[in-house]
Amino acid sequence: MENGEIESQDEELPSRTGRQYRPVVAHDRAVLEMSSLESASSSRLPDREMSLKKIKVNAQGKMDSNAKEDPTQGGPNGPQRESKLELFGFDSLVNILGLKSMSGEQIPAPTSPRDGEDISITLGHPKPAAVKLGTMMGVFVPCLQNIMGIIYYIRFSWIVGMAGILQSLLLVSFCGLCTFLTGISLSAIATNGAMKGGGPYYLIGRALGPEVGVSIGLCFFLGNAVAGSLYVLGAVETFLNAVPSAGIFQGSTTSVNTTAGVAEQIQNPSLHDLQVYGIVVTILLVFIVFGGVKMINRVAPAFLIPVLFSVFCIFIGVFLAKKDDPSPGITGLSLTTFKDNLGSDYQLTNSAGVPDTNGTVYWNFNALVGLFFPAVTGIMAGSNRSASLKDTQRSIPVGTLAASLTTTSLYLISVLLFGALATREKLLKDRLLTATVAWPLPAIIYVGIILSTLGAALQSLTGAPRLLAAIANDDILPVLNYFKVADGSEPYIATLFTAFICIGCVVLGNLDLISPTITMFFLLCYAGVNLSSFLLDLLDAPSWRPRWKFHHWSLSLLGASLCIVIMFLISWSFTVVSLALVSLIYYYVSLKGKAGDWGDGFKSAYFQLALRSLRSLGASQVHPKNWYPIPLIFCRPWGKLPENVPCHPKLADFANCMKKKGRGMSIFVSILDGDYHECAEDAKTACRQLSTYIDYKRCEGVAEIVVAPNMSVGFRGIVQTMGLGNLKPNIVVMRYPEIWRRENLIQIPAVFVGIINDCIVANKAVVIVKGLDEWPNEYQRQYGTIDLYWIVRDGGLMLLLSQLLLTKESFESCKIQVFCIAEEDADAENLKADVKKFLYDLRMQAEVIVITMKSWESHVEGNTQQDDSVEAYTAAQQRIAAYLQEMKDKAQREGTPLMADGKPVVVNEQQVEKFLYTCLKLNSTILRYSRMAAVVLVSLPPPPVSHPPYFYMEYMDLLVENVPRLLMVRGYRRDVVTLFT
């Protein structure tokens, strides 16, 4: 084989999707560490003499040839593929997609710091459900069915007659504004990542914490379940009024006095008829719900289309109506009637709403708010079924807001039409004015009323069980474990429980005392959604990146305030009862519930309130949604600085680029060599100078000076003790020592490699800046691209850093490009599609480019500009060979094992060649595609175990050769981004 040719021993892998690259499954060993590579290489070639001049490069995983897995029985993954990027100690990006850590699965704790490096950013392909709904059938239709209810048909014209046109318009606008603002808040939260089942409960719980989420979620479930019984009773009562002969039991007659003093007889259906028919209808609806999403999807249009047709018939009848036709009191569309009905006419009525001089109920605007507001509820009907939606981030905003605007516009137009159609006495007396004027037959309206209420009941019986199942699946309250369901399964037990509650309320028959509380539960849920959006928008954590851009914390605060105001307008007593019930559930969850960290907004607030965060969070792990970069800026200059300059002038500029809107904390650290007692005053002086420098650069951070016998000891103490609780630094930032060979500083490699190893052991991320002298300040605007060579799993740190760079004025004009380096036989198009979907779910906009790794000869033949790289590669080979020979000679003279920097080493010459080739190929790829990039980010390989630090510096020099501005990033064993909201 020619020099540099890579021998591939890949086997063809079975793939269910037809792709040629192997997805990593949950049980796969994701990390290929250099330590195991070293032992594997030595075991593969036990008796061969290695040469740096001409060798075969066989890239393999963590498995040597003596322990190779059988393709049929070799572990959970079948045959293993070979990695051509061994230098980085990880699988290539081709094998990243398919793991589960970001989708919520727990990964066992590592047994050692290095073993834990396989915990990383992963994309779990969701298990496809049997049926998924789109925007129309999944959100718009359910919302429309819940909003277009019985109130429009039998009470809306009465409301216009009682309040007048002007106050009716104000009433509709007031209630519609409340639900519209709630819809905006719901859209913002729902588009901030993938959303599981549970709808508003899931959103509130993840934003305000499990206690608030469960308490409001249970009340919202109860409200939906009881609302289903209200809709069923409304449908049955309308049916019995339209067809009195269908009654099984004898109805009752009520005599009321009208304004003219004439007694009027009103027929009421029997309570037993309501109970019998209501139970039957509820059971039939439950059977439809048991049929699953597919059945509901088929039945929903059958309920909605006649309703829309009936509304159309009402409008046609309004325009065709004439004076006293089709009924006395009808004037047709008349300007005179419109003027007469402008003002309000509040008066006494009986319990049925008929004007009665001896009535006991006096109506005012506040009472009408309580009567009408249930007519605009239902905007959560789509989000309640979030687990059944194809794309929650698109369907929930579009469907919910479209349904809200459509129904509000319909109500506003109907106010104007009803106000100009009939006299006030007709509006107040004729409870079914819509049926009176409907064209061509009043029976159409009865059908519309029945089907609209049945459709709303169906949506309630569909959403409520899924809401209860979602609460149970979160495993906060053990008492709800009976309602747990597997992903993609129907919540049958929760549906039966919901039906039991619904039937119980139907048996009661009279829900006048319960219905106001139901409205309170809906308003509490809306207020919770608004408060969630307000808190998340106000905190503006790095994880807050909703795709819905038309939101602001002030709108959410206004929506929450309107919800509270409407609650007290309806009834202050029922408001107090509802709040008391929520408080009791909250207290119960606090006592009996299991602790859960969902990355809620309160936790994010704790991080901005340092003292409270230290007490509340302690040293627990940070949820990815609450993760903030806390860089430890290592001020080692790796060279000389002017006097009174304690740190490189551009380090603070770079530290500011790691913060979103300047929020966060940086810790600037410098080390003084010497004895602490002798250098204590010098350390205080240096600390004041460094603090002055930080203030001058307007960087939020603190200065720390550590005195230690040498730099290695000092840094080791820093990474172990710096910080408190969750405010410990999580990223070590330092400059790349570009001068080490130029100025022959032979002590730098050992110190530099030791620092990186200490960061790995201490579980700290590492960012090494090459080209710091050219790093732009806040006034130097950059153009072009930010290029990411995303090779290893870093918990999403590289992706997040690129997003944080875009928030700075100097980089806001740049675009992000993600380069995925695939192997020659990889399916590039499928890989590109997977990465784009992954970035879409993370709410990150970037262009994805897949580069296929080829042999070095093909690069040389296709690009003559790589001669410099070839020359640098040859020079590195020669220096390493000379250094290796010098170590061997020294060991032979002294009769000791091979030593470097006072430590024994084991050098596998073939492996050294592989690392050099990998660095060379990656460097040539960067120069080819990213020579004009504003900044390049590349994964930082770990120092190979048992290799001299000098070798690692040669690898790194070859990797960064001729790249002007480069960030080498290595994440730590935690995800810093998440798919879910």
pLDDT at 347 (0 to 100): 85
Same domain as 650, residue 569: no
User: Do the domain assignments include residue 435?
Assistant: yes
Residue 930 CA: distances (Å) to CA of 429, 615, 658, 816, 935: 77, 46, 22, 12, 9
Taking residues 879-890, report their average pLDDT: 80
Query: 433, 439 in Cβ contact below 8 A?
Result: no
Number of domains composing the chain: 2
Q: Is the pLDDT of residue 643 over 80?
A: no
Using pLDDT thresholds of 50, 70 and 90, give the confidence band for residue 417: very high
Q: What is the DSSP letter of 136?
A: I
**Greater model confidence, 30 or 666:** 666
Q: Is the pLDDT of residue 104 over 60?
A: no
User: Do the domain assignments include residue 87?
Assistant: no
Same domain as 635, residue 588: no
Where helices occur in 930-964 by DSSP H, the ranges are 949-960
CA 826 distance to own-chain centroid: 30
Same domain as 586, residue 635: no
Q: Is the pLDDT of residue 694 over 80?
A: yes
What pLDDT digit, counting tens, does each position of 511-527 carry? Answer: 565 667 778 888 998 99
Q: Is the pLDDT of residue 958 over 70?
A: yes
Give the phi and the psi of residue 840 in degrees, each rounded to 5.
Answer: -65, -45
Query: 149, 456 in Cβ contact below 8 A?
Result: yes
pLDDT at 510 (0 to 100): 62
SS3 268: strand
Same domain as 236, residue 363: yes
Q: Is the pLDDT of residue 125 over 50?
A: no
Query: What is the rounded distance in angstroms from the CA atom of residue 924 to the CA atom of residue 927?
Result: 5
Taking residues 150-166, report their average pLDDT: 89
Sign of CA dihedral 888, 891, 897, 899: negative
Same domain as 828, residue 927: yes
User: Do the domain assignments include residue 53?
Assistant: no
Instruction: Check which CATH number belongs to the domain holding 359 and give it.
Output: 1.20.1740.10
pLDDT at 663 (0 to 100): 66
**What residue type is assigned to position 340 of the chain?**
D
Number of neighbours of residue 484 by Cβ within 10 angstroms = 17
For tokens 């200059």, name the residue. 637
Which residues make beta-bridge pairs with 734?
768
Taking residues 116-129, report their average pLDDT: 42
In this structure, of 238-252, 751-765, 934-948, the range with the lowest mean pLDDT score is 238-252
pLDDT at 41 (0 to 100): 36
Pairing verdict, β 731-735 and 765-770? parallel
pLDDT at 393 (0 to 100): 83
What pLDDT digit, counting tens, does each position of 7-31 carry? Answer: 333 333 334 334 343 343 333 333 3
**Greater model confidence, 104 or 569:** 569
Query: What is the rounded distance in angstroms from the CA atom of residue 271 to the CA atom of residue 76?
Result: 64
Of 530, 562, 592, which residue constitutes the final position of a domain? 592
pLDDT at 89 (0 to 100): 53
Mean pLDDT of the chain: 77
What pLDDT digit, counting tens, does each position of 735-744 carry? Answer: 888 878 776 6
Question: What's the first-to-final CA gap in the chain, in angstroms?
Answer: 52
pLDDT at 265 (0 to 100): 58
**Greater model confidence, 457 or 978:** 457
Same domain as 646, residue 559: no
User: Do the domain assignments include residue 127?
Assistant: no
Q: Which domain does 569 fall in, by range?
A: 135-256+263-592
Q: Is the pLDDT of residue 39 over 50?
A: no
Query: Could you tell me which residues come within 8 angstroms of residue 958 by beta carbon, excluding any fewer than 6 positions away?
Result: 872, 873, 876, 916, 919, 920, 923
Same domain as 578, residue 640: no
Taking residues 450-469, report their average pLDDT: 86
Query: 263, 551 in Cβ contact below 8 A?
Result: no
Q: Is the pLDDT of residue 778 over 50?
A: yes
Taking residues 109-121, report their average pLDDT: 37
Same domain as 584, residue 717: no
Instruction: Check which CATH number belongs to the domain holding 739 and give it.
Output: 3.40.50
Of 592, 607, 639, which residue constitutes the final position of a domain? 592
Indicate the helix (H) or strand (E) that contains 720: helix 711-721
User: Do the domain assignments include residue 607?
Assistant: no
Taking residues 915-920, report their average pLDDT: 84
Same domain as 463, residue 564: yes
pLDDT at 617 (0 to 100): 59
Using pLDDT thresholds of 50, 70 and 90, give the confidence band for residue 495: very high
User: Do the domain assignments include residue 119?
Assistant: no
Same domain as 470, residue 580: yes
Taking residues 902-918, report their average pLDDT: 79
Residue 744 CA: distances (Å) to CA of 200, 639, 737, 749, 952: 63, 12, 11, 11, 16
Q: Is the pLDDT of residue 334 over 50?
A: yes
For tokens 């009986």, name the residue. 350
In this structure, of 22-36, 358-372, 900-914, the range with the lowest mean pLDDT score is 22-36
Number of neighbours of residue 218 by Cβ within 10 angstroms = 23
Using pLDDT thresholds of 50, 70 and 90, give the confidence band for residue 418: very high
Buried b (16+ CB within 10 A) or exposed e, 453-479: bbbbbbbbbbbbbbbbbbbbbbebbee
Where helices occur in 748-791 by DSSP H, the ranges are 748-761
Using pLDDT thresholds of 50, 70 and 90, give the confidence band for residue 883: confident
Same domain as 641, residue 546: no
Q: Is the pLDDT of residue 168 over 90?
A: yes
What pLDDT digit, counting tens, does each position of 806-862 carry? Answer: 888 888 889 999 888 776 666 778 888 888 888 888 888 888 888 876 644 444 444
Q: Is the pLDDT of residue 279 over 90?
A: yes
pLDDT at 117 (0 to 100): 38
Nearest to 460 by CA among 201, 135, 225, 277: 225
Same domain as 635, residue 565: no
Taking residues 897-915, report their average pLDDT: 77
Query: What is the rounded distance in angstroms from the CA atom of residue 939 to the CA atom of residue 794?
Result: 8
Number of neighbours of residue 259 by Cβ within 10 angstroms = 14
Taking residues 112-129, report their average pLDDT: 40
User: Do the domain assignments include residue 418?
Assistant: yes
Of 537, 565, 592, which residue constitutes the final position of a domain? 592
Q: Is the pLDDT of residue 350 over 70?
A: yes
